[in-house]
Amino acid sequence: MSEQPAHNQSKLIGALREGVALVEMVFFKEVKGLLEKKHPDKDLSSHLMLAGAITNELFGTPNPEEKFVDFRRDNREVIEEEMSGLAENLPHLRNSLTDALRVQALCDSQEGIEDPGVLQAAEALGILVKDRNLPLPSAFMTLVRGLGEQYQLVVAPVQISPEEDRSLLH
């Protein structure tokens, strides 16, 4: 009987992490677009690598693969420069990023990982909206669905009538 709540909590954590990942994708797309405008001389691969490094840096998930570690080291100054302008360049994402980073920290905490560094770094960059409340899971998932629709990353669920539902089963 005690396994059921843990199983439900595990499913909730998984769903919340998927929501965080969707916010990461939106952030990646936005950063890539900024980089393309700011550095038109660089090729697509450079934009992708740099956007990925900035995204990983913000969410505290650096890629351990050697080529990415090398890229991060070799482009440290550019990454830091771009990160310092995120709050100013992407003000429309601050609420979503705040919620996603806080939900990520909450999920980490539920899994025994206590590291406030990501939130502290986001606050230092001016990205974190300090007076914004931590959203309830349902509110966060609603925000994520809306963001996913807006950026055409998810398709909103459609209401199906009972007749249509039965016809799909037969």
Q: Are 58 and 89 in contact (CB under 8 A)?
A: no
pLDDT per residue over 46-55, tens digit each?
999 999 999 9
What is the C-alpha to C-alpha distance for residues 149 and 111, in angstroms, rounded to an integer?
29
Q: Are 121 and 128 in contact (CB under 8 A)?
A: no
pLDDT band of residue 154 (cuts 50, 70, 90) is confident
Predicted confidence (pLDDT) at residue 42 exceeds the cutoff of 60: yes
Compute the average pLDDT of residues 132-149.
93
Q: Are 23 and 96 in contact (CB under 8 A)?
A: yes
What percent of the chain clears pLDDT 90, i.e. is strictly above it?
A: 78
Average pLDDT score, the chain: 90
Which residues lie closer than 8 Å to 103 by C-beta, 6 or more apart? Answer: 16, 19, 20, 134, 135, 140
Buried b / exposed e along 96-105 (16+ C-beta atoms within 10 A): bbbbbbbbbb
What percent of the chain clears pLDDT 70, i.e. is strictly above it?
A: 87
What is the C-alpha to C-alpha distance for residues 33 and 12, in angstroms, rounded to an integer?
32
pLDDT of residue 29: 97
Query: For residue 149, what are its two tokens?
Result: 């629709």
Residue identified by tokens 């999920």 is 107
pLDDT per residue over 1-39, tens digit each?
445 566 667 888 999 999 999 999 999 999 999 999 999
Name the DSSP class of 113. Answer: -
pLDDT band of residue 162 (cuts 50, 70, 90) is confident
pLDDT of residue 9: 74
pLDDT of residue 5: 60
Query: For residue 4, what are its two tokens?
Result: 């059921």
DSSP string, 5-62: HHHHHHHHHHHHHHHHHHHHHHHHHHHHHHHHHH-TTS-HHHHHHHHHHHHHHHHT--
Domain ranges of the chain: 3-154
Backbone angles phi, psi at 90, to 5 degrees: -130, 55
Compute the average pLDDT of residues 52-65.
97
